Structure 1
Amino acid sequence: MYGWIWRHLPGPMAVRAITALLLIAGVVALLMFVVFPWIEPKLPFNEVTTE
């Protein structure tokens, strides 16, 4: 899959590397600001009881 993405990015290698880093940053931002906050209340880790 990563090879497919790399082959379809336009430009020379430096432009491809910058574009790949921007894509990675976008995916990380999407996960941190949308997906993880949405799923966090559904996880059972907040229901911890100790005695």
Structure 2
Amino acid sequence: MYVALWRIIPGPLWLRVAISVAAASVVVAALMMFVFPWVDTFMTPKDVTVRQ
């Protein structure tokens, strides 16, 4: 799968690396801004199993 993605990305090696890093950054930012807060609404802090 990663080889297929690497072959799709155009340009020389340095451009492929830059595009890959930018794409990974966009994915991480989208997860932090949209997916993780949405999942957090389903996780309640009342379900703690560890007692002090």
* Unpaired runs of at least 5, structure 1: none
- The higher relative CO (CA closer than 8 Å, separation ≥ 6) is in 1
What is the Cα-based RMSD across aligned positions, in Å?
1.7
Q: In percent, how many aligned pairs have the same letter?
A: 38
Aligned to 1:42: 42
Superposed CA offset, 1:15-47 (max 9, x none)? 000000000000000100000001101024x11
Q: How many residues align?
A: 50
Runs of 4+ in 1 over 4 A off after TM superposition: none
* Unpaired runs of at least 5, structure 2: none
Normalised TM-score (structure 2)? 0.83
The structure with the largest helix share of the pair is: 1
The Cα shift of 1:3 comes to: 1.2
